[in-house]
């Protein structure tokens, strides 16, 4: 598997604004030119979308120990191949035969390229931003770079797998409304909504309250989540998984 992304910056804040993974055929490797050509035919080349919470990624030759700008990275609106993190390692080991030769788009609730934003004052700022997103008021984080324009969202492929988390602070009402609106819009666009859930909610309830288990976990549920994700992607499109 290979991963590619575009990075943008505004006021010393950095975002991962586009992200794709490619499931390679045997002994195959693509470059950014190949990726661009594939993206010209998205209907044929992109199998679906995976929605996560937020990224912490860097291009090859860079790292996440400091801002990319401090490492001399140039934000030129081009795709760059990415280093792998825990999530991409899981994707690489789990998404295989049914997706060979296909792209998957990775989208995020928040594109801020920063580790450990939960729980921090950053979420308070996100919530305030989303509360005034549709107004002409200024937001702390860039409207175009950080957030999904839900009514106008573009989703390629037949499905959207949501792995963007299940714990939202009840005080963050704008974030909760935002998280719920994305799967609702995906269904409105005719996409199959797929995710992992547990005994707390059934599948229909999970969609209503945006209760989507992340593929990455720790402790006793770590292996269950990873195996659930792998089972989901044994088929194309993937299937809803109940983690017990």
- Dist CA 202 CA 231 (whole Å): 18
The proportion of the chain whose per-residue pLDDT surpasses 90, expressed as a percent, equals 97
The two structure tokens encoding residue 120: 């921090």
Show the DSSP H helices in the chain as ranges.
32-39, 42-45, 86-94, 121-131, 143-146, 173-188, 203-209, 222-232
- This prediction has a pTM of 0.97
φ/ψ of residue 182, rounded to 5: -70, -50
Query: What is the per-residue pLDDT for 42?
Result: 96
φ/ψ of residue 60, rounded to 5: -55, 135
| Residue 99 DSSP code | G
- Dist CA 91 CA 184 (whole Å): 25
- Write out pLDDT tens, residues 28-41: 999 999 999 999 99
- Write out pLDDT tens, residues 83-129: 999 999 999 999 999 999 999 999 999 999 999 998 889 999 999 99
- Write out pLDDT tens, residues 222-241: 999 999 999 999 999 999 99
Burial tier of 11 (Cβ tally within 10 Å: 0-12, 13-18, 19+) = exposed
Q: For all residues of the chain together, what is the average pLDDT?
A: 97
- Write out pLDDT tens, residues 41-80: 999 999 999 999 999 999 999 999 999 999 999 999 999 9
């Amino acid at each position: 598997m290979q991963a590619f992304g575009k990075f943008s910056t505004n006021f010393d804040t950095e975002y991962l604004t586009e992200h794709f993974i490619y499931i390679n055929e045997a002994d195959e490797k693509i470059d950014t030119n190949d990726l661009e050509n594939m993206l010209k035919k998205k209907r044929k080349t992109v199998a679906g979308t995976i929605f996560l919470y937020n990224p912490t990624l860097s291009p090859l030759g860079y790292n996440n120990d400091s801002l990319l700008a401090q490492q001399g990275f140039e934000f030129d609106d081009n795709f760059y191949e990415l280093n792998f993190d825990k999530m991409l390692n899981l994707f690489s080991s789990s998404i295989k035969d049914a997706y060979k030769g296909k792209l998957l788009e990775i989208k995020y609730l928040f594109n801020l390229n920063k580790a450990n934003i939960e729980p921090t004052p950053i979420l308070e700022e996100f919530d305030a931003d989303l509360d005034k997103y549709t107004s002409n008021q200024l937001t702390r984080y860039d409207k175009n770079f950080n957030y999904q324009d839900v009514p106008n969202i573009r989703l390629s492929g037949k499905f959207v797998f949501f792995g963007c988390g299940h714990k939202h602070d009840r005080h963050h009402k704008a974030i909760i409304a935002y998280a719920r609106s994305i799967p609702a819009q995906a269904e409105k666009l005719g996409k199959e909504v797929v995710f992992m859930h547990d005994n707390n909610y059934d599948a229909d309830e999970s969609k209503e309250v945006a209760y989507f288990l992340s593929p990455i976990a720790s402790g006793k549920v770590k292996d269950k989540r990873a195996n659930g994700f792998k089972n989901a992607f044994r088929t194309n499109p993937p299937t809803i998984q109940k983690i017990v």
